[in-house]
Amino acid sequence: MKMTLTDITSSLSCDVFAGFDQLNIPIEFGCASDLMSDVLAFSQSGALLLTGLVNIQTIQTAYIAEIKAIVFVRGKKPDDNVIAMAKEKKIPLLGTQYSMYEACGILYEKGLIPTMAHLTCKESNG
Amino acid sequence: MKRDLFRQWHTLHAKNQMDKSFSQTFKVHGGNMYDAGKASTEIKSILKQLGISSPTIRRVAIAAYEAEMNVVMYAKQAMIKFEVSPEEIIISIDDEGPGIPDVSLAMQEGYSTATPEMREMGFGAGMGLPNIKKNSDFFKVESIVGKGTKLEILIHINNS
């Protein structure tokens, strides 16, 4: 199921730090990690990334992995350098007070598909 | 420059000139985590301008970024050479650094020698070299302890 960033902003009561003009973009997949190499290994192009890691390399990794938008969890706020890079790379940045666990649960319940769903289905089918 | 790259690439492709390629070399300095990633983001931009397919760009960008991060985290400096021909993309990394004592161990997922500073930046999952291998069609690592490491990464271009 596709949600828009506006839906996600509303569901997680997000602040918007960058990408105010991109909130209508559809998002179908989600992933969550604080390890950037795991994001590169296990995300999909066009996914939403939930992370508590607020630094320049998060934006670089997101750009490389073609992450469509980032939600910083646990009330983390990006500094001006991080926001500037996100604007340059055209990656919306949102922030929520929810923990990663809660934020993932909320979005999962609303139908955001995990980027590793194909592996999960394979395991559950035996 | 954008129009010139596009025109040059498509001329090469149309003539199927396998012996001709586009190449660019980047110098990367070790130690600066803040600036890390510039070479690989430039590589990604170039591939977009050349009209390469998105799945191929993603593979190249991930492999290049992981390789560049290894240089920044562990080496003194490196030359990253990026070559594009109509059929394939080759990234060659030649660094001056400590080298890798056990390459097969370094290739294992989860094995990491990352410092606390690197882990604070989100690295150290032990997925760097495995990610490069996963995203390449050919991957070679040569390393001499006390001297440095050479990587060769080849990715076939998929224009579907």
Q: What is the pLDDT of residue A116?
A: 78
Global confidence as pTM: 0.86
- Tell me how far apart the alpha carbons of residues B61 and A88 are, in angstroms, rounded to a whole number: 18
Q: What is the pLDDT of residue B78?
A: 97
Average pLDDT, chain B: 87
No. of helices (H) and no. of strands (E), chain A: 6, 8
- Tell me how far apart the alpha carbons of residues B39 and A100 are, in angstroms, rounded to a whole number: 31
Q: Which residue of A has its CA nearest to B61?
A: A64
pLDDT band at B42 (very low <50, low <70, confident <90, very high): very high
- CB B123 to CB A37 under 8 A? yes
Q: Which residue of B has its CA nearest to A53?
A: B122
Identify the DSSP state of B36.
Answer: T
Taking CA B75 as the corner, what is the angle to CA B66 and CA A80, rounded to the nearest 5 degrees? 60
Q: What is the pLDDT of residue A122?
A: 46
Q: What is the pLDDT of residue A118?
A: 60
For the cut 50, the answer to whether the pLDDT of residue A123 exceeds it is: no
Cβ-based neighbour number of residue B117 at 10 Å: 11
Half-sphere exposure of A42 (CA within 13 A, CB side): 19
Mean pLDDT of B136-156: 96
Q: What is the pLDDT of residues B73-94, one digit of tens each?
A: 999 999 999 999 999 999 999 9
- CB B62 to CB A65 under 8 A? yes
Q: What is the pLDDT of residues A73-115, one digit of tens each?
A: 999 999 999 999 999 999 999 999 999 999 999 999 999 999 9
Report residue A29 as tokens: 């997949």
- CB A37 to CB B125 under 8 A? yes
Counted residue by residue, chain B has a size of 160
ipTM of the complex: 0.84
B125–chain A Cβ distance below 8 A for any pair: yes
Q: What is the pLDDT of residues A32-87, one digit of tens each?
A: 999 998 999 899 999 999 999 999 999 999 999 999 999 999 999 999 999 999 99
